[in-house]
Structure 1
Amino acid sequence: MRRKTARRITAATAIVLLPAAGILTTAPAGATTAPGCAGLDQMKIPASVMSLPTSGGQVTSTAVMTSVVSGKIVQYCQVDADIFPVDHTAPAIKMRVALPYGWNRRAMMFGGGGYDGSIPDVTENVPFGPTNEPAPLARGYATFASDSGHEQSPTALPSLDGSFGMNDEALTNFAAGDALKKTRDASLFLLRNAYQEQPDEVYFAGGSTGGREALDVAQRWPTAFNGVISAYPAWNNLAEILDLGYLAQILSQPDAFPGPDKQTLLYNSVISACDGLDGVKDNVVSNPDACHFDPRVLRCPDGADTGPGCLSDAQIAAVTAMSSPFRWPYPVASGETQYPGFPFLSGSDMRTPFLGFGTTAPANPMPQTSGYGLQYWDQWVKYFLTRDPNYNSLAVDPRNPGEWLSRISYLSTIEDRNNADLRPFFRAGGKLVLLHGAADELVSPRSTNDYYTRVRTIVGAQETDASLRYYVVPGANHANFGTPAFAASWDSLTALENWVEKGQSPSNPVVADANHNRTRPLCAYPEWPRYRAGDPNSASSFVCAR
Structure 2
Amino acid sequence: MMKAFHPLQGLLAITVLLAGCHGGAAVAPADTTAAALAVVKPVADCTQLAAVDVTDIGGAGSKINSATVVATTVNGSSVSLCVVKGTLAPSNTFEVALPVGTWTQRFAALGCGGLCGNVADPTKEDAISFSYKCPLVQQGGFVTAATDMGHQGFDPGWTADAQKQADFAYRGQHITTLAAKKLIKAYYGQEQKFSYFVGCSDGGREALMAAQRYPNDYNGIVAGAPAAHFQLQNSVFHGWSVVANSTTGDSSGNSILYPDKVAVLHKAVLAACADTPDGLISDPRACRFDPASIACPAGAQDTSQCLTQAEVLAAGRIYGGPADAKTGAPMQAGRPVFGSEGNWVGVEVPTSGSSSAPVPVKSGVFSYNIVTGAYNLIFTGTPARPDIDTFGYTDSSFYATYLAENHPLNDATNPDLSAFRKAGGKLILWHGWADQHISPLYTIQYYEAMQGQMGQATVDEFARLYLVPGVAHCGGGEGNDNIDLVSGITGWVEQGTAPGSVMTYKLDSAGAQTASRPVYPYPAVAQYTGSGDWHDGANYASGAPRYNVRTPSWPGSIFYTPYAPKVQGVPAP
Q: TM-score range by the shorter chain?
A: 0.7 to 0.9
Q: Counterpart of 1:99?
A: 98
Give the 3 Å change call, closer, same or farther, for CA 198–236 of structure 1 in structure 2.
Answer: same
- Which one of the candidate residues 282, 292, 296 is aligned to 1:296? 292
- Which one of the candidate residues 257, 269, 281 is aligned to 1:285? 281
Post-superposition offset of 1:338: 3.1
Larger relative contact order, structure 1 or 2 (CA cutoff 8 Å, min sep 6): 2
- Which one of the candidate residues 172, 176, 200 is aligned to 2:166? 172
- Which one of the candidate residues 219, 230, 234 is aligned to 1:237? 230
Are the aligned partners of 1:128 and 1:488 in contact in 2 as well (CA < 8 Å)?
no
- Which one of the candidate residues 528, 532, 538 is aligned to 1:531? 528
The 2-side partners of 1:260 and 1:460 are apart by 44
Q: Percent identity?
A: 26
Post-superposition offset of 1:34: 5.9
Are the aligned partners of 1:305 and 1:312 in contact in 2 as well (CA < 8 Å)?
no
1:330-349, aligned counterparts within 5 Å?
338-343=332-337, 346-349=338-341
Post-superposition offset of 1:131: 2.3
DSSP-derived class of the 1:41 partner: helix
Q: Counterpart of 1:192?
A: 185
Are the aligned partners of 2:146 and 2:176 in contact in 1 as well (CA < 8 Å)?
yes
Give the 3 Å change call, closer, same or farther, for CA 373–384 of structure 1 in structure 2.
Answer: same
RMSD between aligned alpha carbons?
3.1
Q: Counterpart of 2:25?
A: none
Deviations 1:36-77 (A, max 9, x none): 311112543123x46xxx435100112110011121101011
What code does the residue aligned with 1:40 have?
L
Are the aligned partners of 1:119 and 1:146 in contact in 2 as well (CA < 8 Å)?
yes
Give the 3 Å change call, closer, same or farther, for CA 199–267 of structure 1 in structure 2.
Answer: same
The aligned length equals: 482
What code does the residue aligned with 1:309 have?
Q
Are the aligned partners of 1:247 and 1:318 in contact in 2 as well (CA < 8 Å)?
no
5+ unaligned residues in a row in structure 1: which ranges?
1-30, 86-91, 154-160, 331-335
Give the 3 Å change call, closer, same or farther, for CA 151–134 of structure 1 in structure 2.
Answer: farther
The 2-side partners of 1:320 and 1:407 are apart by 26
- Which one of the candidate residues 464, 467, 472 is aligned to 2:462? 467
Post-superposition offset of 1:178: 1.5
Are the aligned partners of 1:100 and 1:137 in contact in 2 as well (CA < 8 Å)?
no
The 1-side partners of 2:381 and 2:127 are apart by 34
Q: Counterpart of 2:247?
A: 253
Post-superposition offset of 1:526: 1.0
Q: Counterpart of 1:313?
A: 309
Q: Counterpart of 1:541?
A: 539
Are the aligned partners of 1:469 and 1:524 in contact in 2 as well (CA < 8 Å)?
yes
Q: Counterpart of 1:145?
A: 146
TM-score (ref. length: structure 1): 0.81
The 2-side partners of 1:403 and 1:419 are apart by 20
Note if 1:432 corresponds to 2:432.
Answer: no
Deviations 1:62-93 (A, max 9, x none): 211001112110101110000112xxxxxx00
What code does the residue aligned with 1:300 have?
C
Are the aligned partners of 1:109 and 1:145 in contact in 2 as well (CA < 8 Å)?
yes
Are the aligned partners of 1:510 and 1:520 in contact in 2 as well (CA < 8 Å)?
yes
DSSP-derived class of the 1:263 partner: helix
- Which one of the candidate residues 472, 491, 500 is aligned to 1:498? 491
Q: Counterpart of 2:204?
A: 211
Post-superposition offset of 1:203: 0.4
Note if 1:518 corresponds to 2:515.
Answer: yes
Single out whichever of 449-458 and 132-141 deviates more from structure 2: 132-141
Are the aligned partners of 2:99 and 2:140 in contact in 1 as well (CA < 8 Å)?
no
Note if 1:120 corresponds to 2:120.
Answer: yes
Are the aligned partners of 1:63 and 1:79 in contact in 2 as well (CA < 8 Å)?
yes
Give the 3 Å change call, closer, same or farther, for CA 149–138 of structure 1 in structure 2.
Answer: farther
Are the aligned partners of 1:82 and 1:93 in contact in 2 as well (CA < 8 Å)?
yes
Are the aligned partners of 1:113 and 1:208 in contact in 2 as well (CA < 8 Å)?
yes
DSSP-derived class of the 1:417 partner: coil
Give the 3 Å change call, closer, same or farther, for CA 128–292 of structure 1 in structure 2.
Answer: farther
Note if 1:458 corresponds to 2:453.
Answer: yes
Q: Counterpart of 1:323?
A: 319
Post-superposition offset of 1:492: 1.3
Give the 3 Å change call, closer, same or farther, for CA 396–440 of structure 1 in structure 2.
Answer: same
Q: Counterpart of 1:12?
A: none
Q: Counterpart of 2:53?
A: 44
Are the aligned partners of 1:125 and 1:135 in contact in 2 as well (CA < 8 Å)?
no
Deviations 1:294-320 (A, max 9, x none): 100121234999633222222222211
Post-superposition offset of 1:210: 0.2
What code does the residue aligned with 1:378 have?
T
The 1-side partners of 2:149 and 2:165 are apart by 9
